[in-house]
Structure 1
Amino acid sequence: MADVFAEFCDFSTSEPLRQGDILEAIDINAAMWERHLMVITADCDLAFNKHHGRVTCIPLLTAEEYLLEMVVPRVRNRLVEKPVGELLKILDRIGGPRVSAERLRHWTTEESADSIIQALKLLEKDAVIARAAIESIQQLDASADELNQALRNLVDGQLGGDKPPTRKNAVARVLDPVREAYQRPPGDAMFISTFAASHDRGYFAYLRHLEQVWEPEVAIGPKHRDAKYKRISRLRDRYTHALVQRFATVFMAIGLPHEYEEARDVYFELMGDALK
């Protein structure tokens, strides 16, 4: 029987903490950014205490959490452009108030379609198109705590607008960017199918959020009294190196202006003058 694929590997509880170790918060109510962490502090820093006890980690979010936090808002913002644009065209045509797209979108969350249509004194065809656009925006912007509901809102919001797409096309406009997040995630994220036994829901390591944990508060063995985190697994080297490489790319140094260097030198000179 073929081995089950997994990105993590076995380790000995006698081994010291190292890069690629997966930590789990003892607090079962820990925030999603703190629940599961991967150590990215270099092994040499850990070995020679260059980190001074501060272990730098990145969070491992469930796929649902990541998509709700990072992907769904981006898809929603793109889809809402069409109905908001339709409302702006109506306002321009009737000589209505000049408002930004952002304010117009926010207005639809504050009042009903009837109230907005009445306030703008829209009639006949303009009223019909405006109602469809407003209800489309409201559906797209509807809050959802679960991923499936959020995706349904994005599909249904398109179908309620003026000249809606087919359901097949509406679904594709939602699922294509979600599929992209899995197959070609942005440089600041990486998909991991499973990082420990019984943790196989599908996850994303998110590289733009850092957490620091005091090493004495990490239990690397079976005992975790007074600890805030316990080590539960270790990623295989290939995946650890891939994540660290992406992390380095995200935070690569960029050129700084000459004025910055001058200001930096002034601060040093002032400190030196105080010692003279």
Structure 2
Amino acid sequence: MPIDFASDSDIRQGDVLRSFSDAGRDTDYGIVITADCDIAQKKSNNRITIVRAVPADHFVSHYWSVWELEKIAERQIRSLIPFVNGAIRRTELALDQLTAVGLRSWVISRSPEEIFRILDIRVDKYNKEYSSLVALSQWLSFANDVEKKDGFKCLKSVSQSLGRPESELRERVREALLTSGGFQDYLIVPNLPQSSHDGMAVLMGELVTVPVAEVHGSAYAARVCDADSGYVRFGRLADRVRFAIAQRISFVFSRIGMEENYEDDCRILADLVSSEVANAQN
């Protein structure tokens, strides 16, 4: 996918960069997206725009897994609210009906076992709602952890609590990495040259600008400049790949949300037309 090139060539759009510092951290990548003409004519104020990229395994554990956890948590909350509020009404507890925010606060401060005891429900580990509470508790513990070291580990635990087989999770990871079509907020780039990682994920929403002086054509050039941090170029993407990245970035930043009235009118229209079409067939 990326191709090697002479280290003394000019910086160009599509160049693959690897960050470095005195601390030895070199797990971040960047893709130059500044237009070649702007670089050549120095129209970018001696700065280069880079879209951030991370190793594919890091992407799965720190990005994709977190997104998946948030979606799963929202589904559990939607299903638990009527269950918990129904139990509150049945037991005539002096408690207000819980909202999503209230349920989150309750799960943070109490264990699933405590919540079931308060609701006067027998704890059954095979109970669907109990499993949902356990999964929600696991996610909230992770979400409130400032370090958030490994989202995939939490996702695996949540999936087990919900009774989902490990093969299903493995297949979802595989599908997430097969992103050749559509307009995802990321793009997987495999087969990196001169890299210990199997591939990287380009994060379309994470753009940074860096001084031209911090981008070096090679590790040797960085040493000559006595640079203690910056980016070292080690490859260049094929044109089709860099064009795809530019297209997806423009899509991410050109999404325009419509007013609520517009969305409501569209729903009314959809209901009306679907009913008319269905009735016309009778």
Give me the TM-score of the superposition, normalised by structure 2: 0.71
Q: 4+ runs of 1 displaced by more than 6 Å?
A: none
Q: Where does 1:98-137 land on structure 2 (aligned, <5 Å)?
A: 98-118=97-117, 121-125=118-122, 128=124, 131-137=130-136
Seen in structure 2, the aligned counterparts of structure 1 residues 117 and 93 have a Cα distance that, compared at 3 Å, is closer
1:146 partnered with 2:150: yes
2:215 to 212, 215, 218: 218
The one-letter code sitting in structure 1 at the alignment partner of 2:135 is S
Aligned counterpart for 1:37 among listed residues 30, 48, 51: 30
Task: Please state how far the C-alpha of 1:15 moved relative to its aligned partner.
Answer: 0.9
Considering only aligned residues, what root-mean-square deviation do their CA atoms show, in Å? 3.1
Q: How do residues 30-109 of structure 1 correspond to structure 2 at under 5 angstroms? A: 35-81=28-74, 83-84=76-77, 85-86=79-80, 88-95=82-89, 96-109=95-108
Q: Is the 8 A contact 2:81 2:98 kept in 1?
A: no
- Over residues 8-42 of structure 1, what are the superposed CA-to-partner deviations in whole Å (9 max), with x where a residue is unaligned? 2121122111111122222165888x821110101
Contact 1:142 1:153 in 2 (8 A): no
Equivalent residues in 2 for 1:12-27 (5 A)?
Answer: 12-27=6-21
Distance 1:203 1:86, change over 3 A: same
**Structure 1 CA distance for aligned equivalents of residues 131 and 4 of structure 2:** 56
| Alpha carbons 2:55, 2:197 under 8 Å: kept | no
SS of structure 1 residue aligned to 2:31 = strand
Give distance in 1, aligned partners of 2:22 and 2:162: 38
1:22·1:195 contact (CA, 8 Å) conserved in 2? no
Unpaired segments ≥5 residues, structure 2: 90-94, 143-147, 260-282
Q: Distance in 1 between matches of 2:84 and 2:102?
A: 15
Structure 1 residue 49 displacement after superposition: 0.4
For 1:82 and 1:217, the matched residues in 2 are separated by: 45
1:155 to 150, 159, 171: 159
Please tell me the residue identity of whatever aligns with 1:154: V
Q: Give the C-alpha shift of residue 77 in structure 1.
A: 3.0
Instruction: Between 134-143 and 197-206, report the one with greater CA deviation.
Output: 134-143
Equivalences for residues 163-242 of structure 1 within 5 A: 167-168=164-165, 171-172=167-168, 174-184=169-179, 186-221=183-218, 222-224=220-222, 225-227=225-227, 228-242=230-244
| Residues 19, 41 of structure 1: 8 Å contact kept | yes
Which one of 4, 9, 14 corresponds to residue 10 of structure 1?
Answer: 4
2:105 and 2:111 map into 1 onto residues whose CA distance is 12
Deviation track 1:219-266 (CA, whole Å, cap 9, x = no partner) reads 214221243222222222222222122222323385999xxxxxxxxx
Q: Tell me the matched-pair count.
A: 238
1:147 is displaced (CA, Å) by 5.4
Cα pair 1:217 1:226 within 8 Å, conserved:
no
CA drift of 1:132 comes to 4.2
**Contact 1:139/1:157, CA 8 A, preserved across alignment:** no
Q: CA 1:55/1:87 → structure 2, altered by over 3 Å: closer, same or farther?
A: same
CA distance in 2, matches of 1:152, 1:69: 13
Inter-partner Cα distance in structure 1 for 2:255 and 2:161: 42
TM-score of the aligned structures, taking structure 1 as reference length:
0.72
Shift of 1:141: 4.2
